[in-house]
Structure 1
């Protein structure tokens, strides 16, 4: 099995797992963490989830580190 086939297999399994736990993940307060920037003005809305992006980056990096070991 080539490396690309393994990557696609792992991504498929990950998507299947995420589809089963999505209802529970949507109830978590991820996306409105302290440190996320939210500006709401009359004609302008800006949402920049800095803290959420950092947290997800750490989690994904850890999962990828586990797969490489």
Structure 2
């Protein structure tokens, strides 16, 4: 059970760090969510937003960062 507790604490810390990063990205006007390829569909009472390009960029960056961390930890 101690392993599960440590895992939950680690995930909580990672989520807090991710939240702080998102807050800082918003203050520095980095256009995540407004990149070319992000789809926004608006009608009278409905808005659908699909950030396809943003998801791809975030995925590539996280893959690179996690691979670097994984190789460093070995």
Tell me if both proteins adopt one fold, taking TM over 0.5 as the criterion.
yes
In structure 2, what is the Cα distance between the partners aligned to 1:16 and 1:50?
23
Aligned CA RMSD, in angstroms, stands at 2.9
Q: How far apart, in 2, do the equivalents of 1:44 and 1:21 lie?
A: 26
> 1:11-43 deviations in whole A, cap 9, x for unaligned?
7378448627733x1021111100001001112
The equivalent of 1:19 in structure 2 is 20
Q: Hey, which bits of structure 1, 4+ residues long, moved more than 3 A? A: 4-7, 13-18
Within the candidate set 26, 33, 42, 1:40 is matched to 42
What 5-or-longer segments of structure 2 have no aligned partner? none
The offset of 1:8, in angstroms, is 1.7
Give the TM-score normalised by structure 2: 0.66
What TM-score do the two structures reach when normalised by structure 1? 0.70
How many residues are aligned here?
A: 65
Please give the secondary structure, in 2, of the residue aligned with 1:38.
strand
